[in-house]
């Protein structure tokens, strides 16, 4: 479903992504980890064209992301994305946040959009917060709303960019629970995260990145068993030791 082939990207002279190739099949959950600055967020943002890349090719559902002729808005409307800092729209109520793109992009009616939004809010356990504004919610609640907002577009894949990194420890689980349920429902997911418990539980594959390279791309058992690269072993020992 998602194919990344020999992608390279530069920020000016800085080479952020170096010849990255991987793929995610339908229904697969792939976790991307690695030290900060290794290019994992950049890679995931290339997948829905939020970041342009200079070399290589990415296709999502056989649509080429880098192609100038591609209607990126249309593609993005079906690839959900969840951000590190939630990025809810602060001037709109929770329910409006979820309804906006349904109406403006998918052309749903107010009533349809509202019904879908309420269903999703029920699913993430926030139905009683619909009328509130994002600033009135906790971080964990905001991130669950953000997930509901992305799901409202009926995406065929979901991208998560460090969805729990900005959260207080006690709120991490409420977000992870929603993500686990999503994975179990068969959603195709690419998740940048350091939550190795989550990775062990639901990931089919783990990608380890360092300095712009995909150093390791292995099944979850292989990765947690014996990572092949020394760099990944070091990284794992650091984050699993506490």
- Given the complex with another protein, which of 1 and 100 has the nearer CB atom? 100
Kindly tell me which residue out of 78, 123, 132, 200 binds another protein, with binding defined by CB under 8 A.
78
Answer yes or no: are the C-beta atoms of 180 and 201 closer than 8 Å. yes
Q: Does 80 bind another protein (CB under 8 A)?
A: yes
Q: Does 13 bind another protein (CB under 8 A)?
A: no
The torsion defined by the Cα of 123, 207, 76 and 155, in degrees rounded to 10, comes to -30
- Given the complex with another protein, which of 50 and 127 has the nearer CB atom? 50
Residues 134-153 that bind another protein (CB under 8 A): 135, 149-150, 153
Distance in Å, CB of 172 to another protein, minimum = 20
Distance in Å, CB of 161 to another protein, minimum = 9
Residues 149-178 that bind another protein (CB under 8 A): 149-150, 153
Distance of alpha carbon 95 from the chain centroid: 21
- Given the complex with another protein, which of 75 and 127 has the nearer CB atom? 75
Residues 6 or more apart whose CB falls under 8 angstroms from that of 203 comprise 29, 30, 31, 191, 220
The torsion defined by the Cα of 129, 48, 202 and 216, in degrees rounded to 10, comes to -150
Which span (32-40, 44-52, 117-125, 177-185) binds another protein, by CB under 8 A? 44-52
The torsion defined by the Cα of 94, 95, 101 and 106, in degrees rounded to 10, comes to 160
Counting beta carbons within 10 angstroms of the beta carbon of residue 52, is it exposed (0 to 12), middle (13 to 18) or buried (19 or more)? Answer: exposed
Q: Catalog residues that contact another protein under the rule CB under 8 A.
A: 45, 48, 50, 72-81, 83, 85, 87-91, 100-101, 104-106, 133, 135, 149-150, 153
């Amino acid at each position: 479903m998602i194919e990344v082939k020999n992608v390279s990207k530069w920020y000016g002279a800085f080479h952020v992504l170096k010849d990255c190739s991987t793929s995610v099949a339908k229904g697969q959950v792939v976790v991307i980890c690695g030290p900060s600055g290794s290019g994992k967020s950049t890679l995931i943002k290339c997948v829905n064209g939020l970041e342009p890349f200079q070399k290589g090719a990415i296709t999502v559902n056989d649509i080429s992301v880098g192609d100038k002729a591609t209607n990126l808005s249309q593609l993005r409307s079906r690839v959900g994305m969840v951000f590190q800092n939630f990025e809810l729209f602060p001037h709109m109520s929770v329910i409006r946040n979820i309804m906006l793109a349904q109406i403006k992009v998918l052309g749903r009616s107010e009533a349809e959009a509202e019904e879908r939004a309420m269903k999703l809010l029920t699913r993430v356990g926030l139905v009683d917060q619909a009328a509130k504004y994002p600033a009135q919610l906790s971080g964990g609640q905001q991130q669950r709303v953000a997930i509901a907002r992305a799901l409202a577009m009926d995406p065929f894949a979901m991208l998560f960019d460090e969805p729990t990194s900005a959260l207080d420890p006690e709120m991490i689980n409420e977000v992870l629970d929603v993500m686990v349920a999503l994975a179990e429902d068969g959603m195709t997911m690419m998740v940048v995260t350091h939550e190795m418990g989550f990775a062990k539980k639901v990931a089919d594959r783990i990608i380890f990145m360092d300095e712009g390279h995909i150093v390791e791309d292995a099944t979850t058992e292989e990765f947690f068993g014996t990572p092949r690269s020394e760099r990944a072993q070091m990284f794992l020992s650091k984050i699993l030791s506490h």
